[in-house]
Amino acid sequence: MKDKVVLVTGANGGLGKCVTESLLEAGAIVAGVSRKIQQSDFPNTRFDPFPGDLSSGEGADKIVQNVVARFGRVDVVVHTVGGFAGGKTISETDDTIFDRMLDLNLKNAFFLMRAAVPQLRKSGRGRFIAIASRAAVEPGRGVGAYGASKAALVSLVKTAAAENQDAGMTANAILPGTMDTPANRQSDPNADFSKWVQPHNVANLVLWLASDYGKDMNGAVIPIYGNL
């Protein structure tokens, strides 16, 4: 990964922090994206913060353009941004929650992908890695909107894989189960955290997919469920 330019969304989040640290340790140059992010979040000369908003096509375009202006290219995109709202059946889910899940888990990925794919194609070995969810392929009670939005994200990634393999670009999705993050611990304080997926294990999988070792993996949907 030495000197590869990697754009990480949600770089200072629960998983994004582990991903960013792993990439920096592997020698990558990391462009960290979040609505609120600063240099002090990762005191490393190969880290640059790019505050921005992915909720619109214009915002995503601006982020990618700023990264290219700074480094001249983008080799890898790791999209960790997402959100969860659930607990209600489909018949009880209101428009606000459904729209929120689509915005957080699908639309911003689409805007980012649309902006970044031309740059990843230029790389000749571009990588797009998205964090989806186990719920994308194993839906359950009370997660209809969330699971549907993550399933749509998986479909988007697989489409990108098919459309861009001619340029040596790959696109893959990772499906974690419940991850052991501070936010998840707070929302379910009585759970057995030892059974949850450790973020650093997801980060190691991201690192492998982003590296030359992962060049033959394209359009994959990779489960990492923990012990639940």
Task: Kindly state the DSSP code that residue 198 receives in the 8-state scheme.
Answer: P
Helix, coil or strand: residue 47? strand
For residue range 97-124, list pLDDT tens digits in order.
999 999 999 999 999 999 999 999 998 8
pLDDT of residue 77: 98
In the chain, what are the domains? 5-224 (3.40.50.720)
Return the closest-CA partner of residue 146 out of 195, 88, 194, 193: 88
Integer Cα distance of 121 and 110 in angstroms: 16
Q: Which residues contact 167 (CB under 8 A, 6 or more apart)?
A: 120, 121, 124, 126
pLDDT digits (tens, 9 = 90+) for 23-58: 999 999 999 999 999 999 999 999 999 999 999 999
Per-residue burial over 93-128, b if 16 or more Cβ lie within 10 Å, else e, is beeebbebbbebbbbbbbbbbebbbebbeebeebbb
Q: How confident is the model at residue 190 (pLDDT cuts 50, 70, 90)?
A: confident
